[in-house]
Amino acid sequence: MFSGKIRDLCHTLSFRLTLWYAGIFMITTLLLIFLFYSYIASHLIEDLDRSLGEEITEFRSLLNKSGLEAVKKYMVIEVDSEIEDSFFRLFSSSGQEIILTTNFPFRNTQQLDSLALLAYRNGEKIFSNIDAPGYPNQLRTVSGDIGQGFVLQTGESLADYEKTLSFFKRFSLLVVFPLVALSTIVGWFLARQALKGVEKVTLIAEKIAGGDYDQRVRLKRSTSEVEKLADTFNNMLDRIQALIRGMKEVTDNIAHDLRSPLARIRGKAEMALLGAGSQTSCSDMAASTIEECDNLIDMINTMLDITEVEAGVSTTDKEKVEMNRLILSACDLFEPIAEEKGVKVMTSLPDNELYFLGDKHKLQRLVTNFIENGIKYNRPGGTVTVTLKEEDRQIKILFEDTGIGISEQNLSRIFDRFYRCDTSRSEPGLGLGLSLAKAIARASGGDIEVKSTLNQGSLFIIRLPL
């Protein structure tokens, strides 16, 4: 169980971020230490080489001025005055060691011989590190031609140099480990702080998964990415909740709209059964069953049409639709119904034909729905006026009626599926026409606007972009 917890911890983002932070910090620190170490090492060697090189110059001028004996004496004086372990060696061009003065037991002349010959041949100072058998440190040496066929070699122990560098190494290790530990703690703290918001969102998501849809992430007033994520998450939840509410309403409405006709069909069937075989009751029952079934099929088809239009899966190709002609034929179609209700349908169309690229069948349904509603929710003697015009690169179709109107609180809901105002329940209808109309308008790139005053009439405006 404990190892499981550790495994879980290793998979967390906080842990990985901490590892990255500590890793990058450690690599950067080691790189800096390495650069500093190289700089110190080369600087120390440069210093040493400079002072060794100066000895060669000094001895050259001494030989020139005072001769070989003075050089030999000076070599002894010099080696005695040195605090470091050092040596001086004079070598002739014929390959012979003239004198070796040293303040420590140093016996390794083989390597020096070849360096002396090389310096003589090249005529320049040659710097080199050499080992001294039995001596713990290396020696830094210079071999340089001092004239008159002599090469002077001098060298110094690298003990101090190595001590400084090893002190630096130990110090670096001492500093690096606590620094890495500190950076891990800081990294862990920063990662936790950065991911705190994500944890909050996860916690809320878990509660929502448990069925509590009212949960929301509490936001701070900051513009951090996590706060933005939380805000988007909240908006998404609002939308999902609205959709669930909408779906629930639709389901309730469907259930309600199915129950009434089914109850009526059942009632009629029962009566026909009680009438025990009477021809008229059976015919009555069959006729009303067909009518109820037609209504139900109509409802289901309209719902499927709305879904299809909203999903944009309509397979019909777009065509150039003559809008003037489409409106006129829709008005003609409703003329008998309007006459029966005592309503006058009027049109106001432009002289030139207006064209719209769209689905003719859907546009017909869009227009007929508004004309039908204008007549249906009207009073005898009322009017329905359909106006077509082109404005601001848009086709506008206005349906204005002098009917029963819509109250302000109902205006925002009439486009919802199955919604019907109480004032219009006496008229037949499913409450799906406006939902379909809106879906068609939007699928065509346009929209619908409505203005209405209760008991005075309504104005629906369809805008379709050209």
Binding positions for ligand ADP, rule: CB under 6 A: 369, 373-374, 377, 401, 403-406, 414, 419-421, 424, 429-435, 458
**CB of 230 or CB of 375, closer to ligand ADP:** 375
| Residue 408 CB, nearest approach to ligand ADP (Å) | 13
| Residue 407 CB, nearest approach to ligand ADP (Å) | 10
Is residue 89 within 8 Å of 152, Cβ to Cβ?
yes
| Residue 332 CB, nearest approach to ligand ADP (Å) | 20
**CB of 82 or CB of 310, closer to ligand ADP:** 310
Is residue 218 within 8 Å of 248, Cβ to Cβ?
no
| Residue 270 CB, nearest approach to ligand ADP (Å) | 29
**CB of 187 or CB of 431, closer to ligand ADP:** 431
Coil, helix or strand at residue 456: coil
**CB of 119 or CB of 299, closer to ligand ADP:** 299
What is the 3-state secondary structure of 408-453?
HHHHCCCCCCCCCCHHHCCCCCCCCHHHHHHHHHHHCCCEEEEEEE
Query: How far does Cα 400 stand from its chain's mean position?
Result: 48
Quote the tokens at residue 260: 């009434």
**CB of 166 or CB of 251, closer to ligand ADP:** 251
**CB of 119 or CB of 375, closer to ligand ADP:** 375
**CB of 139 or CB of 436, closer to ligand ADP:** 436
| Residue 348 CB, nearest approach to ligand ADP (Å) | 18
Partner residues linked to 150 by β-bridges: 92, 147
Helix axes 225-274, 279-311, angle to 10 degrees: 170
Number of H helices, E strands in the chain: 11, 12
| Residue 410 CB, nearest approach to ligand ADP (Å) | 7
| Residue 459 CB, nearest approach to ligand ADP (Å) | 9
| Residue 421 CB, nearest approach to ligand ADP (Å) | 3
Partner residues linked to 452 by β-bridges: 458
Phi, psi of 321 (to 5 degrees): -95, 130
Strand order in the sheet with 86-92: 97-102, 86-92, 150-157, 139-147, 126-130
Neighbours of 360 (CB within 10 A): 16
Give the closest residue to 97 by CA, choosing from 135, 153, 55: 153
Coil, helix or strand at residue 398: strand
**CB of 403 or CB of 446, closer to ligand ADP:** 403
